[in-house]
Amino acid sequence: MDKVLIIDASRVTAHFIKMTLEYAGFECDIAQSLEYAADMIAQNEYFVGLCSLVYEGHESGDGIDLLVTNGIPAIVVTASLDDNQLKEILKKNIVDYVLKKTEHSEYIVRIVKRVYSNRKIKVMVVDDSVTVRHWIAAVLRRQGLTVLEAGGGEEAYEIFTENQDVKLILTDYSMPGMDGRELTAKLRRCRQMDELSIIVLSSDENSRTAPLFLKTGANDFIHKSASVEEILCRVNSNLEMLELLEESRMRANKDYLTGIWNRRYFFEYAEPLFLDLEESGKKLAIVMLDIDHFKNVNDTYGHDVGDLVLKGFSARLADYFDSVGLSARFGGEEFTVIIEDVDPEELETFVNGFREIIESYSLAHRGDTITYTVSIGVSTDVSLGLDAMINRADALLYEAKTSGRNKVVCEIV
């Protein structure tokens, strides 16, 4: 993980910030002079730097310049800031500024987390004015975001179809051809508000414009006269909301113990595949798996060790199958996999490969070596439908269990 550089002549302030950020999981280095900071930058990689405005023997803002010229996003931490100073530091392309007050420590963590997360986030700016578009894009790039640009609605939609990982779009309202409202409506047909944030920028003074866009599906509306600070606050708030919603979805869809998908999400994922069979032409397989004699592991070594077995099994299951489909924990020691684009001639060999991996795996615990096996049933008759196919795979799993365990029973149709 890249580190945070804290440049502050005050040992107390620097260590307070360091402690605050390390508690949040960030590794930090401290430099109490710009000379020492320059040496540290030459030897380390930092994804963000926090600096003061003034250092002894230097001009105001030299700390910002040191960070920015080395390609490190700069956050200014200062005891006070008047309007003239604010104008000057904003010209230096900083990420943000924070006042040296205890109650602002949470905001320091928030903005550092934001910069760290932004490195993996793609956004788009849509405006027919090249000047405005480039200005907004530059502001967002300073936040560490990957920024795409489009000169109109049609171009924006085309870029979006080729970049489905775009998380946020800032679009102008009035543009030739497809305007911002049409673009918003079209984007909403393929991405919901909790998946893609759309912020509309407009110079329109009509009081009905903002409600119109919000009803069309925009997440936010900003007047073009807004300050850089306001635009960034809105962008950051929208990105944070998307992350909170994504985290909530993951908690709802992931198994709490093993971290792989749960039964609920398995059906959410698999049902559309069956509805789309005629068009896609995919051959699907349902794989049911059950760890053999798992109760004996719990009874002999305790539930803590049983949990370790489940976690290890799940990690190997996802690693093996998730490139060809989706794996999930159904409950207890029972798991299921849906495989897409099945090759009937290779299916049994492929599934058996996973059985062999589990058979050869061992878990060391307090001087004991714990081994276990898995029984597997595989159904390929898509004409049954999803529920009946699961039941059939479960019946084949039972057959594998009753015929000796540590087996794959595969029914190719």
Concatenated DSSP letters of 320-381: HHTTTEEEEEEETTEEEEEESS--HHHHHHHHHHHHHHHHH-EEEETTEEEE--EEEEEE--
- Quick one: CA torsion of 37, 39, 43, 45, rounded to 10 degrees? 20
Please name which of 156, 170, 173, 178 lies closest in space to residue 199, comparing C-alpha atoms: 170
Q: Are strands 362-365 and 261-262 parallel, antiparallel or unpaired?
A: unpaired
Q: Do residues 351 and 410 lie in contact, with contact meaning Cβ atoms separated by under 8 Å?
A: yes
**List 333, 334, 345, 399, catalytic entry:** 333
HEC readout, 215-263: HHCCCEEEECCCCHHHHHHHHHHHHHHHHHHHHHHHHHHECCCCCCEEH
- Amino acid (1-letter code) at residue 170: L
* CA–CA dist 111, 104 (Å, integer): 11
The answer to whether residue 333 is catalytic is yes
The residues annotated with a catalytic role in the active site are 333
